[in-house]
């Protein structure tokens, strides 16, 4: 869950997953591993904080959304390939498995927490957490275009997709991927985005033992996560900003992902093996 400093320039991004990892991002992931940076550093601007919690000393970004796109995924696999000395065949297999599951969709990982409000002077809890409200949200994902004629139009949505309904409808997000309860915020702070979700076999390190993360429902700290997938059908090809909004009773949290859209390059399947050889040649 730790959030590192985002990349401050606009990334070039294609919304689809190409046939091979993005070479420049894969190389960046390798370089981060060589320099000793943790794997979370590959998330960059694609992981955005949504809400903060005051632990009595500092504010911590405990609510977050991660956009699992091709740029991030290439960087993540590059880090793993360098750190765990993956073979080319393993890199290829992982990418093809990820592409088969995520291509054609916008995939987001949403983590929300409900923690008690603590006294800054260290006198315990001021207000108990309310998981019934905090962990029953609905979401809306929208896109904006850079080609609008005026400022107002450029900052309005050209496409939107809602998950769940309004609070009066009783319809919220789909089934949670995970839900935890504990006696301390530390239980949630070091979770990886893929743990206990459908993404685990795609993104977990090859040597990482499986974790059921089962625990008794005890404690004042609550957390839950969702893997949200949205079909890109109908999404305009000229967007440059994706906004992710979370609606909770009397509260709204949002994150924005800005980028320079890059159209995918089509390649012939007959050249697939040659293209993979070229890719690995660039990343030796």
Q: Is residue 5 part of a domain?
A: no
pLDDT digit string, tens, across residues 140-187 = 888 887 665 443 444 556 677 777 655 455 456 667 788 888 777 777
Structural domain that includes position 239:
11-282
Q: How confident is the model at residue 101 (pLDDT cuts 50, 70, 90)?
A: very high
Task: Provide the whole-model pTM.
Answer: 0.82
Q: Is residue 249 part of a domain?
A: yes
Q: Is residue 98 part of a domain?
A: yes
Cα separations (Å) of 11 from 24, 122, 141, 147, 269?
11, 43, 19, 18, 27
- Residue range 122-148: average pLDDT? 67
pLDDT value of residue 209 = 62
Q: How confident is the model at residue 98 (pLDDT cuts 50, 70, 90)?
A: very high
Question: Which among 135, 122, 129 has a CA at the least distance from the CA of 224?
Answer: 135
Q: How confident is the model at residue 242 (pLDDT cuts 50, 70, 90)?
A: confident
Question: Which among 178, 165, 174, 172 has a CA at the least distance from the CA of 229?
Answer: 174
**DSSP bridge partners of 244:** 141, 255
Q: Is residue 6 part of a domain?
A: no
Q: How confident is the model at residue 220 (pLDDT cuts 50, 70, 90)?
A: confident
Q: Is residue 110 part of a domain?
A: yes
List the single range of 22-31, 231-240, 274-283 with lowest mean pLDDT. Answer: 231-240
Q: Is the pLDDT of residue 267 over 70?
A: no
DSSP state of 271: G
How many separate domains does the chain show? Answer: 1
Q: How confident is the model at residue 251 (pLDDT cuts 50, 70, 90)?
A: confident
Q: Is residue 3 part of a domain?
A: no
Q: Is residue 214 part of a domain?
A: yes
């Amino acid at each position: 869950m730790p959030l590192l400093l985002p990349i401050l320039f606009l990334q070039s991004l294609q919304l689809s997953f190409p046939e091979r990892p993005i070479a420049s991002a894969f190389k960046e992931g390798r370089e981060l591993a060589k320099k000793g940076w943790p794997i979370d550093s590959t998330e960059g601007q694609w992981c955005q904080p949504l809400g903060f919690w005051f632990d009595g000393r500092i504010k911590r970004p405990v609510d977050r959304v991660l956009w699992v796109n091709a740029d991030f995924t290439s960087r993540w696999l590059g880090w793993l390939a360098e750190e765990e000395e993956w073979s080319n065949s393993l890199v290829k297999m992982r990418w093809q498995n990820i592409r088969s599951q995520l291509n054609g969709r916008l995939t987001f990982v949403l983590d929300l927490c409900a923690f008690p409000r603590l006294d800054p002077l260290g006198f315990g809890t001021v207000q108990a957490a309310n998981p019934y409200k905090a962990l029953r949200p609905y979401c809306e994902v929208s896109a904006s275009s850079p080609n609008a004629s005026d400022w107002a139009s450029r900052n309005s949505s050209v496409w939107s997709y809602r998950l769940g309904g309004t609070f009066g409808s009783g319809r919220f997000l789909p089934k949670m991927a995970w839900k935890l309860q504990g006696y301390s915020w530390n239980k949630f702070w070091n979770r990886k985005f893929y743990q206990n979700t459908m993404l685990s076999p795609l993104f977990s390190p090859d040597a990482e033992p499986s974790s059921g993360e089962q625990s008794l429902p005890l404690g004042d700290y609550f957390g839950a996560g969702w893997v949200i997938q949205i079909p890109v059908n109908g999404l305009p090809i000229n967007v440059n900003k994706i906004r992710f909004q979370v609606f909770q009773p009397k509260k709204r949290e949002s994150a924005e992902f800005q980028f320079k859209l890059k159209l995918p390059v089509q390649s012939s399947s007959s050249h697939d093996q040659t293209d993979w050889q070229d890719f690995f040649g660039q990343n030796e």
